[in-house]
Amino acid sequence: MKTHTPVEEKILSPRTNGLAFLLLNTLAIILSIAAMVIAFVLLVPSPVMVILIVVTMLYAFLVGPLLYIGLKIVKPNEAIVLTLFGRYMGTIKEEGFYWVHPFATAVCPVSASDFSPSSGKTELKRDLSKSSGNITVQLPKRKISLKATTLNNDKQKVNDALGNPIIIGVVVVWRVVNTAFAVFNVENYIEYLSIQCDAALRNVVRHYPYDSDDDENSLRGSSSEVAQKLSEELQQRVLPAGLEVMEARITHLSYAPEIAAAMLQRQQATAIIAARQKIVEGAVGMVEMALTQLNDNDLVTLDEERKANMVSNLLVVLCGNRDVQPIVNSGSLY
């Protein structure tokens, strides 16, 4: 069984200056036309003259214009992947104006229908119930962009470590580092990155709960750790496509609508319990401080029953969630 061999990237450094070739080829076409006109004017019937006319006509109207096809312009942070009769010829990454073989074809795996000039970043719009979507990306035609690009997938529903459905969205900053892998190893490297991003996100999220009591080791409390693991796993997945993941961050995190209300009540209950605990701890400390100061200063001598009554009243005042109405006791305690 024949195994698939990845195409190794070859960097081309064309020595033919495009501007110089443009001027020389244009001059040659003009001279060919002039020679052809002179041959027609002279009308000297000889084999040499006939050959000269045929050669000049071929160069002026066929070979010369055909050679213009080999002119290539490479802008900064762009690359052109060239193939010659089906074979990988090499990649031009150095900016400039060059002339290459006129039959060399520039290859770009992203078709014209996949990208639109109306957007300045890569956006994959995908419905949560479907496995594929439409890609909107701005890339030069027949050229590979080497710039840092943003992939912003739509929010998707996944399950956390506790099995709770959550809605999460991520943004990935990436770029192409190996043009041969991006063109020849995968069908469409942008769609490949998007699908692998979804898979990596699901695999990372399932190891973390949405939140925890101490807010550590959770999606909400450990966002930096989650982003780091997501970047590392996604980088391993996109290596066959010749891509580099520069950064991956969570942009949206929330419970799914079907459990959002119940989880909100749980969070509110947890917050209320935590607040009550703080209030009780503070109230007990204040009561203890009051009894200690009363005993130390010998202001009032209280027996155990009066202390219990005083503690009860103070706790009611300090722990109540409403304003206390004072009651003056004009009689005896007994």
Residue 169 clears pLDDT 50, i.e. is over it: yes
Tell me, what's the pLDDT at 26? 93
Work out the percent of the chain whose per-residue pLDDT is above 90.
24
Assess if residue 328 is contained within a domain: no
Q: Judge if pTM exceeds 0.75.
A: no
H/E element, 222: none
Among the listed residues 151, 155, 156, the one whose alpha carbon sits nearest the alpha carbon of residue 135: 151
Vertex 233, ends 229 and 235: CA angle to 5°? 115
CATH number at residue 167: 3.30.479.30
Residues 230, 265, single domain; the answer is no
pLDDT at 16: 85
Is the pLDDT at 286 greater than 60? The verdict is yes
User: pLDDT of 127-145, one tens digit each?
Assistant: 433 334 444 444 445 788 8
Chosen domain end from 50, 85, 107? 107
pLDDT for 259 equals: 62
Per DSSP, the residues of 13-41 read: ---SBHHHHHHHHHHHHHHHHHHHHHHHH
Q: Note whether 97 and 183 are same-domain residues.
A: no
Same domain membership, residue 286 and residue 208: no
Boundary (domain end) residue, out of 54, 87, 107: 107
pLDDT of residue 217: 79
Mean pLDDT score across all residues of the chain: 78
CA-wise closest residue to 173 among 261, 233, 249, 119: 249
Pairing of strands 156-159, 165-176: antiparallel
Residue 331, domain member (yes or no)? no
pLDDT tens-digit series, residues 1-22: 455 677 888 888 877 888 999 9
- Say yes or no: 168 and 245 in one domain: yes
Domain enclosing residue 272, as ranges? 261-319
Give the range among 113-122, 259-268, 284-293 with minimum mean pLDDT: 113-122
Higher-pLDDT residue of 331 and 98 is: 98
Gap between the Cα atoms of 317 and 326, Å rounded = 10
pLDDT of residue 65: 92
Please check whether residue 324 lies inside any domain of the structure.
Answer: no
Residues 247 and 159 in one domain: yes
Tell me if 244 sits within 8 A of 177, measured CB to CB: yes
Of 107-121, 161-175, 221-235, 288-302, minimum mean pLDDT range: 107-121
Residue 229 lies in a domain: yes
> Which of 229, 255, 281 is the C-terminal boundary of a domain?
255
User: Which residues have CB under 8 Å from 303's CB, separation 6+?
Assistant: none
CA 102 to chain centre: 37
Judge if 157 and 238 occupy the same domain: yes
Worst-scoring range by mean pLDDT, 71-75, 125-129, 258-262, 319-323?
125-129
**Residues 28, 103: one domain?**
yes
**Confidence (pLDDT) at 178:** 92
- H or E element at residue 165: strand 165-176
Where residue 215 falls (left for φ over 0; alpha for ψ -120 to 50; beta otherwise) is left
Residue 133 located in a structural domain: no
Q: Are residues 270 and 243 in the same domain?
A: no
Packing angle of the helix pair 223-237, 189-205 (nearest 10 deg): 140
| Separation in Å, CA 16 to CA 60, 67, 93 | 21, 13, 15
Confidence of residue 116 (pLDDT cuts 50, 70, 90): very low
**Residue 214 burial (CB count, 10 A):** 8
Residues 154 and 246 in one domain: yes
pLDDT at 237 > cutoff 90: yes
Whether the CB-CB separation of 234 and 145 falls below 8 Å is answered with: no
Residue 138 located in a structural domain = no
Q: Look up tokens 């762009």; give the residue.
A: 78
Number of domains the chain contains: 3
The answer to whether residue 130 sits within a structural domain is: no
H or E segment to which residue 250 belongs? strand 243-255
For residue 246, the tally of other CB atoms under 10 A from its CB is 14
Same-domain pairing of 38 and 91: yes
Does any domain span residue 134?
no
Give the CA angle between residues 278, 283, 286 to the nearest 5°.
125
Please give the pLDDT value at position 318: 65
